[in-house]
Amino acid sequence: MISEAIITTIKKARRIVVFSGAGMSAESGVPTFRDDLTGLWQQYDFMKLATPEAFKADPALVWGWYEWRRTRLLAVEPNAGHQAIARWQAHYPLTIVTQNVDDLHERAGSYNVIHIHGSIFAPRCTKCKTPYEFESHYVQEPESGRRIDPPSCKVCEHPVRPGVVWFGEALHEPDLRAAIFAAENCDLVIAVGTSGVVQPAALIPRWAKDKGAVVVQINPSPTPIDEVSDYNIRMTAAQALPQIVEALNLD
């Protein structure tokens, strides 16, 4: 049960930031990065695979991994946590800053989602940056995964790359600025489903706190965000968020 003190604090908020990580999508059946990589990628460390070096060394392995993740994402649905946030956003000024490269917030009905680590649905040319359009039909990649040569750009023939921010790459400046602006101008941050490890994203709750916001964390496990959070709800996203939105008596 979420305490009355937390609900009262949330009810007072007028400018809200929801900062989500992989745990937000876990109850939709999307493995978090803490879960072991499976299939072809079992023997790889996510941190080494999600890098420009890995793509340069073996583009087919990395592109195959993203296609495996993308096609599996097309087969899952937003969970009750995504839906609760979308309902909340229909009544309050609420900005979503997500580290997730999936589109589950949008598919639940949320809008203006800031993807600070990019999107798996927005590949682009490695050379001229032209966005690449996926074929409309898709075949879900086999469980075991496979190497797939990245497609070539339709404009300049160079290889296409996933539209995500890899480790060692700078975040897309406009997205980072929008996220910082939202954090520094809100009065409540809900940090949900993030291990609070990846920088600079993990600083978002701190930036908000430094400007006077209240920080509420939703995560079954402790994280470094515990150090800045005013309240910790030790529940999952799909358990806690519907309870919070229910208590707001929105409709």
- Contact residues toward ligand BV8 (CB under 6 A) are 21-23, 26-27, 32-34, 50, 99, 101, 117, 164-170, 192-195, 197-199, 201, 218-221, 223, 236-237
User: In angstroms, how far apart are the furthest CA atoms of the chain?
Assistant: 59
Q: Where does 90-172 have alpha helices with state H?
A: 104-107
What are the tokens at 214? 């209240």
Q: Which residue is nearest to ligand BV8 (CB)?
A: 23
Which range of residues in 49-57, 158-166, 172-180, 185-193 is near Zn ion by CB under 5 A? 158-166
| Residues taking part in catalysis | 117
Among 5, 47, 90, 155, binds Zn ion (CB under 5 A): 155
Residue closer to ligand BV8, measured from CB, 86 or 192 = 192
Site size with Zn ion, rule: CB under 5 A: 8
Residue list 104-143, contact with Zn ion (CB under 5 A): 125, 127-128, 130
How far is the C-alpha of 85 from the C-alpha of 94, rounded, in Å? 9
Residue 73 corresponds to which amino acid? Answer: L
The set of residues, in sequence order, having a beta carbon less than 8 Å from that of 7 and lying 6+ positions away, is: 244, 247, 248
Q: Which partner, Zn ion, ligand BV8, none, binds residue 128 by CB below 5 to 8 Å per kind?
A: Zn ion
Query: 177, 64, 72, 66: which is closest to 122 by C-alpha?
Result: 66
